[in-house]
A and B are shown apart, each in its own frame.
Chain A
Amino acid sequence: MHRGLLEPYQNRPSAIHRLPAAAKCAAAVVVVLVIVLLPRAAWPAYGVTGAGLLLVAALSRIPPSRLATRLLMVEPFALGVALLSLFQPDGARIFAATVARSTLCLFAMVLLGATTRFSDILRVLWSARVPRLLVTTLALMHRYLFLLVDETGRMVRARRSRNYSRDRLATWRSSATVIAHLFVRSSERAERIYSAMCARGWKT
């Protein structure tokens, strides 16, 4: 996987980037809340919100293709949920509204992530008294995600360099081994991280 796609933040000299992180987080939450609370058929309001978000996107000077790629990466999850609504009466309309609403919400979050450093968002969450455990978990996840991706890449490459078989079953089996190894390595790393935290005075 491309490391670039994992990293949401795009450093650009724009007015949107310079806004305080707290303001951007609050605005994103407000957009999501308003969209969720709007009646299902409020299409004009969706249009206005969408136009507003597009304006922010333009002001942020981030290439539209980049934002679109990120949006498409998360869209399948929303689509999966929306598809379920097709099985009820008047399904098509509910489906369209669900897709529109979730796309707007996701777009707001993609914009927030692209214009605000993750560490700044964490600081906002911290000062907004979001439960500590959740913020710490998010921080550690963001920190070690890249390491995990690199490690997976190295293991997959090492495996490929020794695996000439075209037997699909064998490939699956070795994939399972890679996953198992990653799990063991991650849990060992978690132990070492915990030791490193204790070594600097955590919980003493």
Chain B
Amino acid sequence: MNALEVRGLGYRYPDGTAALDDVSFDLAEGERVGLIGPNGAGKSTLLLHLNGLLPERPVPAPAVHVFGTPVTEPHLAAIRARVGLLFQDPDDQLFCPTVWEDVAFGPQQQGLRGEGLAVRVAQALGQVGLTGFEERLPHHLSRGEKRRVCLAGLLACEARLLALDEPTTDLDPRGRRELKGLLESLPVAQVIATHDLEMVVELCPRVVVLDRGRVVAHGPTAELLADEDLMLAHGLERPHILRHRHPH
């Protein structure tokens, strides 16, 4: 069974502008796919569809299936437990007074309490390497730490599909390297929307190129990202790592 199936997904903003048009792709369990494209291509809008935050109104035929379940109103609780959405701005996602409470938020919504909750939170914080940060306040954390707490909050829900919206944007090189290593170590399916093409080359065997709401290319990362004309035509560029094959 596929972790994710998107079939002919279309979406218009309430003002009528087309945001997504006939988008289709699959993702196997444990697989990573890069979602790339210029600003305003519809990457974030697409991610919001993966756990039912969009569309606002139910559609007759759901275009997104997660682990075989259609993303529709009656299944939202189950879908949101399985799909972890990492937002662009970690400050939007960290809304609780302390790190512990924030990581515990998701499992609490699933009805977990007491010892079970404590174990789940401790495991998630351990996975992102932030054991000992339980009582820290979100506004005292660095950008990279905030991002990792957000990720712990998703792992604590036992998400099996992560939808990450520009996870490495505005991280310093160390924060970026740590986050990349972390994503690589997680055995769950991941959709990574990003402009960080070097990371895409290293993490994702496959990419979906999105422009103006349409899938303009879909295939092996090394092949597509090395295609200079394709990259330039869609506001991207061939990453350095694919230009020079010398080791450095």
Contacts and interface: CB of A to CB of B under 8 A. Distances in A.
Contacts, number: 69
Range, interface on chain A: 20 to 34
Contacts of B77: 201, 204
Contacts of B95: 140, 143-144, 193, 196-197
Interface stretch (B3-11, B103-111, B183-191, B197-205): B103-111
B89 interface: yes
Chain A residues touching B, majority SS: helix
Given A118-B97, A147-B139, A195-B48, A200 B53 contact: no
B96 A198 contact: no
B69 interface: no
Interface in B29-88: 48, 51, 53, 76-77, 80-81, 83-85, 87
A7 B84 CA distance: 32
Q: Which one of A117, A122, A195 has the greatest number of beta carbons of chain B within 10 Å?
A: A195
A146 B89 CA distance: 15
A196 B87 contact: yes
A143 B51 CA distance: 26
B89 A201 contact: no
B96 A200 contact: no
Contacts of B157: 200-201
B87 A192 contact: yes
Given A193-B95, A199-B53, A143 B139 contact: yes
B195 to A, nearest CB: 20
Contacts of B167: none
B109 A200 contact: yes
A144 B77 CA distance: 27
Interface in A116-140: 117-119, 122, 139-140
Contacts of B76: 204
A201 B154 CA distance: 11
Contacts of B154: 200
Interface in B92-134: 92-98, 101, 105-106, 109-110
Nearest to A145: B139
A68 B106 CA distance: 41
Contacts of B94: 143
Interface in A151-189: 189
A198 B106 CA distance: 9
A93 interface: no
A143 B96 contact: yes
Nearest to B156: A200
B137 interface: yes
Given A119-B137, A147-B91, A142 B97 contact: yes
A195 B51 CA distance: 11
A122 B97 CA distance: 9
B80 A201 contact: yes
A87 interface: no
A201 B75 CA distance: 11
A193 B105 CA distance: 13
A142 B53 CA distance: 26
Nearest to A151: B91
A199 B96 contact: no
Q: Which 9 A-B pairs have the closest CB atoms?
A: A201-B109, A200-B106, A119-B97, A204-B77, A192-B92, A199-B85, A146-B139, A196-B93, A204-B76
Given A122-B97, A146-B139, A200-B80, 4 more contacts: A142-B97, A199-B80, A200-B106, A201-B109
28 contacts: A117-B135, A118-B97, A119-B101, A119-B137, A122-B97, A143-B94, A147-B91, A147-B139, A192-B87, A193-B95, A195-B48, A195-B87, A196-B85, A196-B87, A196-B93, A196-B95, A197-B95, A198-B53, A199-B51, A199-B85, A200-B157, A201-B80, A201-B106, A201-B157, A204-B76, A204-B77, A204-B80, A204-B109
Interface of A: 117-119, 122, 139-140, 142-144, 146-147, 189, 192-193, 195-202, 204
